[in-house]
A = this chain, B = another copy of it.
C-alpha cells in the first residue's frame, strides 16, 4: 500500500500540447492511483517554446524545462523518454533516445513512413538486448472495455473470428471554411484521417483479435480540396496568411480486408461523418459469440455469448466499471465510469511494470511498424483504383 520505498524512474517528456498534457496527466496519475513497481518522477519537459513548456511544467509538476530535446535526452536524471511531438519527428528522436540507452514511449503513429518505422523497430530490437524497453502509444488499447474485449477473445469466448467491422468517425472537417492546418498537409502529417484515426482502429482490431490484417482494397477521398490558409493553427500561420491552399491528405478512407485467420473486415476512418465526434466503433463476430464497442459509450462492452439458451441470449451490456475489470480497481468504487484520459494512466502503469519486470511492453515498435505497413497498403490500393493490396506481415519478435 505504501509508496514510500518504491524505486523511481525519471521521465523526460518531449512535447507539451494535447498529447503532452495527456501523458503528463498519465504519469502523475500512475503515482496517485496505482502502485507501480517503479514510481515515475516527472523530471523534465522540453519544448521549443520555453515559456509555453514552462507553463505546462508548472501546471503538471514537471521539475525542469528544456528547449532542446537533445539536452533532455542527454540528462542523467532521465531514464525514459516520452515522445509527444508530431509524427515527422518521431524517428529522429526515438533513435537518439534509444542510442542514449533510454527507454522510449513514442506516440502513435510510430512514424510517417514505413522506412522510418523499420529503422525504429530495428533500433528497438537491438536495444532490447541491453534491457532497453520501447513502446508505441496506441493508448486506446488500455480503455478497460477494449482490454476486456481482448481478454474475452483471447480466452476463446467468441470462438473463431469471422467478421471485423471497425469505424473511427469524426466530423470536424465538414465545415469547408475550417483552415488548412499542418494536419491537412502530407509533408507534415503523412496522411489524413487514415493515419491519424484509421491507425487506431487497425491497431485495435489486431489487438483484440490477436491476428493481423493481411490485405486491403481501399478508397480514399478528399471532399474539400482547398481550404483557407488564414485562421490556421499549429504554426501554419507563419507560412502563409491569405488565400486558400491545397489539402494534400485524405479526408476519409474506407477499405475491405482480410485478417490472417480468414475473417472479413470493413474499415472506415473519416473526419466527415457529420454528428459523430469521436466514435470508435468495433464489432467482431466469431463462431461462438460477438463483442461490440462504441467509444461514445466507452465504459460499456457488449458481449454476445452464443452458448446461452435461445430464450436468454442477447448482447449483454457489460458496464466495465467493476474492480474485477482491467485497470478499474485503481480508480473509484464500482459503477463510477472513467473518461478518455484514463487510458494514458494505464499505459504509463503497464510500461512501468514491464520495465520493472524486465519484459517487453506492448504494443512494440514492431507492432507500430505493422500498422505503418497497413496504412501504406491502404494508400497503395487507393492510388491504384482500389486494387487488392497485400500487407507484409510482421513476425513476432523471437
Contact = CB atoms under 8 A, between A and B. Distances in A.
Interface of A: 1-4, 18, 21-22, 24-25, 28, 31-33, 51-52, 54-55, 58-61, 148, 152, 158, 162-163, 165, 167, 169-172, 174, 217-219, 221, 223, 252, 254-258, 262, 264-268, 270, 272-279, 283, 285-290, 295-299, 302-306, 308-319, 321-322, 324-325, 331-342, 385-388
A274 B288 contact: yes
A387 B336 CA distance: 35
A248 to B, nearest CB: 18
B289 A275 contact: yes
A31 B59 contact: yes
B254 A315 contact: no
A2 B55 contact: yes
B256 A274 contact: no
B316 A278 contact: no
A217 B61 CA distance: 52
A254 B290 CA distance: 18
Contacts of A24: 32
Q: Which of A172, A221, A290, A316: most chain B CB closer than 10 A?
A: A316
Given A272-B285, A277-B321, A314-B319, 14 more contacts: A152-B312, A171-B285, A174-B306, A219-B256, A264-B270, A275-B290, A276-B285, A276-B290, A298-B337, A310-B322, A310-B324, A313-B318, A332-B341, A386-B388
A309 B272 CA distance: 18
Given A25-B32, A256-B266, A339-B336, A148 B311 contact: yes
16 contacts: A18-B332, A21-B32, A21-B33, A31-B59, A152-B312, A174-B287, A218-B256, A219-B264, A252-B264, A256-B256, A277-B334, A278-B336, A297-B297, A314-B318, A314-B319, A317-B317
B266 A268 contact: yes
A41 to B, nearest CB: 12
Contacts of A335: 170, 276-279, 296
Contacts of A340: 332, 336-338
A301 to B, nearest CB: 8
